[in-house]
Amino acid sequence: MSTQTLTKKVIAYVTKKDELMVFTHTEFPEAGVQVPAGTVEESEEPSEAVLREIYEESGVKGVRIIELLGIYEYNMAPDRDEIQERYVYHLELTEPTPSTWRYWEMHSSTSKNSIAFDFYWVRLDGSDLGLAGGQGYFLSKLVQKIKII
C-alpha cells in the first residue's frame, strides 16, 4: 500500500510561433531547464492555476489558453514521497516579451525569499528539449498540434 500523496500540478507550454518559453534558476542552474509550473490550490481549477503560475514565475500576463494537451501522473520518488497529477496546457503569447528577461518569483511554496528565474525562448524541434523533471512529456504532441519542423 502506497503512502505517497497525490498532488495536482499544472505545466505551461507557452508558445510564440515555433518557440517555447523556458527558464533556468539563476542561483541553481543544476535545477535544469524548465517551463512555468506549479501546484493547483484548493478550490482552484487547473486552468486558473496555469495562468496564475505563469504570471507568478515570469511576470507575463499576455497569454491565452489554447487547450489542455493532456494529464499524466509523475512519481517524484526518490526526491519526494509524492505522485503528481500533471495538467499540461498549451498557451499562446498575446503580448510581446523580450527575447530574454529575469523575473523574481515572490510567492514560492518552497522559500520565503524571492527566487530569480532567467527566461528565454527556444525553438521547438520535436524533442523534449531536455526539460527537467519530466516536463517535456507532451512536447511532441504540442509540435504536432502547431505543425512545425
Rounded Cα distance between 56 and 118, Å, is 13
In sequence order, the 6+-apart residues with CB closer than 8 A to the CB of 101 are: 59, 118, 119
In sequence order, the 6+-apart residues with CB closer than 8 A to the CB of 63 are: 12, 14, 51, 54, 91, 92, 93, 94
Residues 105 and 117: beta-carbon distance below 8 Å: yes
Annotation says 85 is catalytic: no
Total residues belonging to the chain: 149
Active site residue: 56, 82, 85, 92, which one? Answer: 56
In sequence order, the 6+-apart residues with CB closer than 8 A to the CB of 81 are: 3, 4, 5
Catalytic (active-site) positions? 56
